[in-house]
């Protein structure tokens, strides 16, 4: 039997107090709706229908930004007015085949484990409807599951419509359900909106079926927290931390040492070799790969970068789109902008910025330098304050430095320029393409020093 998934993503999310539609708010730097689409996709459905409404264009744009294989599965349905979750599902039904099973997911519930959804789908069997519930310590804000004396589902009542007695119920509606398309098509048009919010509640479907004596199955999830919906910023922060703690747990289980799993942030994927150590407050974005024995000290922000075995990254270093090979020592306060390759045993120290540069084996740039568009050989020493002047205000130019070069402190290399193998550039020298030299030469700029004897500095006139 074919499975189709409907994802509700039309609501405004009033309680977020934001101009951004709620489902586009991010968890681990990924829109909540994208998390839900990913989970849906993992179930191998024949189609995914996303219901959009509030700021539909923006939500559609996000869907259009997904990869082609995912987009091929997705159809968009417009819910022009947000008249409730039941109405929203109804808006997608004309695209759903009569004999399909339908899984309904909410775009504001991003962390639901795929295995649980899979279980939910399987538990429908030959029945009409199965709802996913959970037991919450603090059920405030959720629909409550009202069971009859036999323990079967009687109805689901929303917080705002519940009696004081019903509000005490701790079994809550997660919002997720699986149903036969034929049942949804028959019953959803019959929903009424005579409730406190004047909405067509999807949750009333269960009550309607129960009244007709039909079995509504209930699947109780083992864990409530992970099924938390996001309606407000505090709930967004709660779900974010939950995501991060789970990510941290997985890494620790695989052998990574985290100084504090509560101060760890992953916004993408992180692959680690053996015996890696990650200190507090590091952020990993995009796709980051660490080899064996890599140490990342506090406060580093690392994006789309690979770091080889036995490297040590000192605090507050910021990397993007770079390749660092083995035994590197980098930072503190180093910045790698996109496009660098650092060969084995490179050292990049504090306040050094590299961009689109290649640093050969054993090369060291210890302090306060800018290395942009530079091809640097092996065993080069870049003195403090060395600058590659790679930009003339309009164009970028390349600096080439051979092997075993020594660049003295406070030197400028005005690109395009080449410094040959074994050359020594004395401190404070400006090298340009007109600096004609051979391998192993000394290049030296010394402006004449002028002495003015017994010089009187200007004085401030006291008022
Ligand atoms: C809903 C459930 C509640 C459940 C809770 C779980 C109903 C009536 N209530 O309440 O029982 O405990 O989720 O998190 O279903 N949406 C639309 N169109 C609409 C209204 C909503 O697409 O007209 C979408 C929203 O974008 C959101 C989802 O449906 O992704 C849920 O809507 P929301 O308003 O957040 O419902 P809750 O009050 O949280
Ligand atoms: Ca919600």
pLDDT, tens only, 148-177: 999 999 999 999 999 999 999 999 999 999
**Total-model pTM:** 0.93
Give the residues of the chain that fall short of pLDDT 70.
none
Which pLDDT value is given to residue 457? 94
Q: How far is the CA of 106 from the centre of ligand 1 (A)?
A: 7
Of 17, 347, 367, 437, the catalytic one is: 367
Q: How far is the CA of 81 from the centre of ligand 1 (A)?
A: 14
- pLDDT per position as a tens digit, 302-359: 999 999 999 999 999 999 999 999 999 999 999 999 999 999 999 999 999 999 999 9
Q: How far is the CA of 306 from the centre of ligand 1 (A)?
A: 41
Report d(CA 382, CA 411) in Å as an integer.
9
Cβ < 6 A, ligand 1 pocket: 8-11, 22-23, 51, 53, 79, 82-85, 87-88, 106-109, 142-143, 156, 158, 172-175, 201-203, 229, 231
Q: Which atom of ligand 1 is nearest to the CA of 200?
A: 8
Q: Does the active-site annotation cover 35? A: no
Which of 107, 175, 195 has most ligand 1 atoms within 8 Å of CB, for mutation? 175
Neighbours of 443 (CB within 10 A): 20
């Amino acid at each position: 039997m074919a499975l189709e998934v409907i994802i509700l993503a039309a609501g405004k999310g009033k309680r977020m107090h934001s101009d951004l539609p709620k489902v586009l708010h991010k968890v681990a730097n990924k829109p909540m709706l994208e998390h839900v689409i990913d989970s849906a996709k993992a179930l191998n459905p024949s189609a995914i229908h996303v219901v959009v409404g509030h700021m539909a264009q923006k939500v559609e744009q996000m869907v259009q930004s997904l990869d082609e294989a995912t987009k091929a599965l997705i159809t968009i349905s417009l819910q022009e007015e947000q008249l409730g979750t039941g109405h929203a599902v109804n808006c997608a039904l004309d695209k759903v085949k009569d004999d399909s099973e339908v899984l309904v997911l909410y775009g504001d519930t991003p962390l639901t484990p795929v295995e649980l959804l899979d279980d939910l789908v399987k538990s429908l069997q030959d029945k009409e409807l199965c709802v996913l519930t959970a037991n919450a310590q603090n059920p405030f804000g959720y629909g409550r599951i009202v069971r009859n004396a036999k323990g079967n589902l009687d109805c689901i009542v929303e917080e705002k419509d519940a009696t004081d007695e019903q509000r005490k119920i701790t079994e809550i509606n997660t919002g997720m359900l699986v149903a036969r398309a034929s049942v949804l098509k028959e019953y959803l048009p019959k929903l009424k909106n005579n409730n406190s919010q004047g909405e067509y509640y999807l949750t009333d479907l269960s009550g309607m079926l129960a009244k007709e004596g039909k079995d509504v199955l209930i699947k109780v999830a083992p864990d409530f927290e992970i099924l938390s919906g996001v309606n407000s910023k505090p709930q967004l922060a709660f779900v974010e931390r939950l995501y991060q703690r789970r990510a941290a747990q997985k890494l620790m289980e695989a052998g990574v040492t985290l100084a504090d799993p509560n101060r760890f942030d992953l916004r993408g994927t992180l692959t680690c070799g053996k015996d890696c150590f990650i200190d507090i407050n590091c952020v990993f974005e995009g796709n980051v790969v660490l080899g064996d024995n890599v140490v990342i000290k506090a406060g580093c922000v690392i994006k789309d970068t690979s770091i080889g075995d036995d490297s040590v990254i000192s605090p507050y270093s910021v990397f993007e789109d770079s390749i660092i090979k083995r035994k590197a020592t980098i930072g503190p306060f180093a910045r790698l902008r996109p496009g660098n390759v650092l060969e084995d045993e490179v050292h990049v120290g504090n306040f050094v910025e590299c961009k689109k540069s290649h640093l050969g084996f054993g090369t060291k740039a210890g302090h306060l330098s800018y290395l942009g568009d530079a091809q640097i050989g092996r065993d080069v020493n870049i003195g403090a304050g060395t600058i590659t002047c790679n930009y003339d205000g309009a164009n970028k130019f390349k600096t080439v430095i051979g092997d075993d070069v020594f660049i003295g402190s406070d030197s400028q290399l005005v690109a395009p320029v080449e410094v040959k193998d074994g050359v020594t550039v004395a401190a404070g020298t400006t090298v340009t393409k007109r600096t004609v030299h051979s391998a192993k030469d000394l290049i030296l700029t010394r402006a004449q020093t002028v002495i003015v004897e017994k010089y009187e500095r200007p004085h401030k006139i006291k008022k």
